[in-house]
Amino acid sequence: MSPSSALPVRGLWCALLTPIARDGGVDHARLLAHARALLAQGVDGVAPFGTTGEGQSFSLDERRAGLDALLAGGIPGTRIVAATGCAALPETVALTRHAVAAGCAAALVLPPFFWKDASDDGLFAWYASLIEKAADPRLKVMLYHLPQVSAVPLSVNLVGRLAAAFPGTVVGVKDSEGNWAHTAALLAQVPEIAVLIGHEPHLPRLMRAGGAGTICGVANVLPGLVRALLTPQVAAGDEARIAAFIDIAFRQPLMAGFKSMLADQRNDPGWLAVRPPLVPLTDAQRSTLRAALAASGLGPAAAGAQQ
Amino acid sequence: MSPSSALPVRGLWCALLTPIARDGGVDHARLLAHARALLAQGVDGVAPFGTTGEGQSFSLDERRAGLDALLAGGIPGTRIVAATGCAALPETVALTRHAVAAGCAAALVLPPFFWKDASDDGLFAWYASLIEKAADPRLKVMLYHLPQVSAVPLSVNLVGRLAAAFPGTVVGVKDSEGNWAHTAALLAQVPEIAVLIGHEPHLPRLMRAGGAGTICGVANVLPGLVRALLTPQVAAGDEARIAAFIDIAFRQPLMAGFKSMLADQRNDPGWLAVRPPLVPLTDAQRSTLRAALAASGLGPAAAGAQQ
């Protein structure tokens, strides 16, 4: 049993896109159908309202109701990581308590992202306060390192301090920086917790080095390809495909692009809407994206072909 | 009547520090006493739960209750600008509606600060949606440009578009970047709205150029000095004093430093606490700060001396 088995989040987890209904609210029916489809395609679990899911654009009530809709629809809490981070601690506590009560596998917690120059001591105190106020021995916290978006890095030293101070509670880190040196330092210096990453091209290296898996956005549209990257013998073609896909995915706004791809895969324009300040792709952007994916063999058919 | 007179926020407004009670909550008694003291010292109004007030570290309920405590204590709504920006639009709408209902002079609204690469179109849609959902003709919005903290600049072009689209509603901008070229561009290109700034050394230039005033943190501890900078004939000594003060204020974490100064002025260590992820100054930092202020003639006595 590896030291990181305390975290029941391993393998392939999808950072769910959030479908928007015509009234601007969360489209629970599409959200549930998407989660079910992904689980049927072999995804180990789902993470609603993370960064890919535009989580910070939704209210506490919307995030709670979305999670409840997944549970009510039969997705087990053990297959859900709830992204519970908010700018303010009291609201992070509220969402985290809700997630624990719902039986979620873990709470994925951004640092308080308004404060850009927070010290390790300040961030330690913030996470310690969260754990104290959540006040539930069932709580499993995954720290969320995403400096290119949150603008608040979590240093390896801070992750180590939190893992040491809260064994069995701080049990994982999602490292979405995409900087292998940082990931390697986490694996080496904090071996007692599970390391999951967000940058899919690093997955073969991560799994060889003893990492736990991924919570990623690409799994919304190419779960089979991401699954292939987690296997012991990764085909060179799959490594080339994910590199090509990531290159294409960052040519337009990321979340709107994922939604455009999913809309094409499902033949369902109901997936296109994003919530401001994000904007949907223009028709021209959608055409360009479609052509680039097709040229790389990553068009709509690829989602099924990779299973 | 100047074009910007639609905004009843001119002159000297203080971005209130937020006192923390022993239980970690907002200390309403100290907050109210501080606001009263500032108004008695000639401050035109107060802005609770802005950046200086660690606003993003407090829950919606705490921010509403803090505002209600000021009103219940007799501070007129017309003397209050409520900082209502949150990461998510629904919560920004909720706080903004509360502020309008409370009769506040204006709502000071950060952009949705989780999203770092939001386009002008996306930010325009976000603010437009806020105004639509707030749905109150009494609403006065001040846009809040603070890129060094929010990491989301508001371009001059965006400010102009919003002012043109929502005349009488988008009536001001708080420009806290401290970049005079940006402030000058706002004054020149969006003359129909009021421009207030956060960087106090620019105040003499701002007032000569037709700006409206300031909402600033320094007013917590040196309101008389900031007032002096707003007068038509600014003494060279006051310009030197504010430059010296700003130099000193940024040598340690800003909010904790302001709280340390106020604790000394009021001889009240109850002002020292900050909420994580901020950390209070160490005793050594406090001594160093005290000595630097004293050496520049800006020690505790200066707060009164400048009146």
Q: Is residue A271 part of a domain?
A: no
Question: Exposure of B181 by Cβ count < 10 A (0-12 exposed, 13-18 middle, 19+ buried)?
Answer: exposed
Q: Is residue A49 part of a domain?
A: yes
Q: Each residue of B264-285: pLDDT tens digit?
A: 999 999 999 999 999 999 999 9
- Does B60 touch chain A if contact means CB atoms closer than 8 Å? yes
Which helix or strand (DSSP H or E) is residue B33 part of? Answer: helix B28-40
Model confidence pLDDT, tens digit, residues B34-73? 999 999 999 999 999 999 999 999 999 999 999 999 999 9
State the pLDDT at residue B128. 98
User: Measured between CA atoms, how close is B4 to chain A, in angstroms?
Assistant: 27
Residue B214's pLDDT is 98
Segment B219-227 shows an average pLDDT of 97
B118 touching A (Cβ < 8 Å)? yes
Q: Does A184 touch chain B (CB under 8 A)?
A: no
Contact B91 A59 (CB under 8 A): yes
Q: What are the tokens at B39?
A: 């108004």
Interface test mutation site (partner B, options A20, A114, A278, max chain B beta carbons within 10 A): A114
The token duo for B249 is 């204020």
Tell me the C-alpha distance between A56 and B228, whole Å: 41
Measure B92 CA to nearest chain A CA, in Å.
Answer: 9
DSSP secondary structure string for all residues of B159-199: HHHHHHHSTTTEEEEEE-S--HHHHHHHHHH-TTSEEEES-
Percent of residues, chain B, with pLDDT higher than 70: 96
Does the model's ipTM exceed the 0.85 cut? yes
State the CATH number of the domain containing residue B193: 3.20.20.70
Q: State how far the Cα of B11 lies from the Cα of A306, in Å rounded to an integer.
A: 64
Give the domain range for residue A214. 8-232
pLDDT at A46 over 90: yes
> What is the length of chain A?
307
Average pLDDT of the residues in B240-263 = 97
Looking at the predicted structure, is the pLDDT value of residue A189 above 50? yes
The backbone region for B162, taken as left when phi is positive above 0, alpha when psi lies in -120 to 50, beta otherwise, is alpha
- What value does the mean pLDDT take over residues A37-66? 98
For testing contact with chain B, the best of A49, A91, A93 (most B CBs within 10 A)? A91
Test A111 with B60 for CB contact under 8 angstroms: no
Q: What is the pLDDT of residues B79-138, one digit of tens each?
A: 999 999 999 999 999 999 999 999 999 999 999 999 999 999 999 999 999 999 999 999
- Whole-angstrom distance, CA of residue B114 vs CA of residue A130: 20
Inform me whether the C-beta atom of residue B275 falls under 8 Å from chain A C-beta atoms: yes
Interchain CB contacts (distance < 8 Å): A and B: 109
Q: Which of B117, B105, B59, B67 is nearest to B86 (CA)?
A: B59
Q: How far is B191 from chain A (nearest CA, A)?
A: 26
pLDDT at B6: 58
pLDDT attached to residue B100:
98
Residues 6+ apart with CB under 8 A from A166: A128, A131, A141
B222 in A contact zone (CB under 8 Å): no
CA count, 13 A, side-chain hemisphere, A167: 5
Min Cα separation B89/chain A (Å)? 6
Q: At what angle do helices A180-189 and A156-165 cross, to 10 degrees?
A: 30
- Work out the pLDDT band at A307, boundaries 50, 70, 90: very low
Q: Does B129 touch chain A (CB under 8 A)?
A: yes
| Per-residue pLDDT at B232 exceeds 80 | yes
**Cβ of A153: how many Cβ atoms within 10 Å?**
18
Name the pLDDT band for B20 (thresholds 50, 70, 90): very high
pLDDT of residue B307: 39
At A236-279, the pLDDT tens digits run: 999 999 999 999 999 999 999 999 999 999 999 999 999 999 99
User: Is pLDDT above 90 for A24?
Assistant: yes
Are A173 and A202 in contact by the 8 Å Cβ rule? The answer is no
Q: Is the pLDDT of residue B306 over 50?
A: no
Give the best residue of B51, B91, B93, B133 to mutate against chain A (max A CB count within 10 A): B91
* Confidence tier at A300 by pLDDT (50, 70, 90): confident
How many domains does one find in chain A? Answer: 1
Please choose, from the candidates B225, B299, B224, the residue with its C-alpha nearest in 3D space to the C-alpha of residue B265: B299
DSSP β-ladder status, A11-15 and A213-216: parallel
A19 in contact with B, Cβ within 8 Å: no
Structure tokens at A24: 């601007």
Instruction: Please state, rounded to an integer, the average pLDDT across all residues of chain A.
Output: 95
Of all helices (H) and strands (E), which one includes residue A13?
strand A11-15
Q: Please state the φ and ψ torsions of residue A102, each to the nearest 5 degrees.
A: -80, -5
- CB B90 within 8 Å of CB B130: no
Tell me whether residue B279 is in a domain: no
Is the pLDDT at A4 greater than 60? The verdict is: no
Q: Is residue B1 part of a domain?
A: no
Which ranges in chain A belong to alpha helices (H)? 28-40, 60-72, 89-101, 120-134, 147-150, 156-165, 180-189, 203-208, 223-229, 236-249, 254-266, 283-295, 300-305
The reply to whether B211 falls in a domain is yes
Which residues of A are less than 8 Å from B59 in CB distance?
88, 90-91, 94
Query: Which of the residue ranges A96-100, A297-301, B197-201, B246-250 would you say has the lowest mean pLDDT?
Result: A297-301
Do B114 and A253 make contact, defined as CB atoms within 8 angstroms?
Answer: no
Locate the chain B residue with the closest alpha carbon to A60.
B91
In a domain, B96, yes or no: yes
Q: Does the structure show a pLDDT above 90 at A293?
A: yes
Q: Which pLDDT score, from 0 to 100, does residue B303 have? A: 65
- Comparing CA positions, the residue from B45, B56, B25, B27 lying closest to residue B266 is B27
The answer to whether position A260 is within a domain reads: no
Q: What is the pLDDT of residues B134-143, one digit of tens each?
A: 999 999 999 9
**Cβ B119–A149 below 8 Å, yes or no?**
no
Task: List the beta bridge partners of residue A215.
Answer: A13
Residue A190 clears pLDDT 50, i.e. is over it? yes
Q: What is the pTM of this model?
A: 0.96
Residue A306 lies in a domain: no
Q: Is B11 exposed, middle or buried (0-12, 13-18, 19+ CB in 10 A)?
A: middle
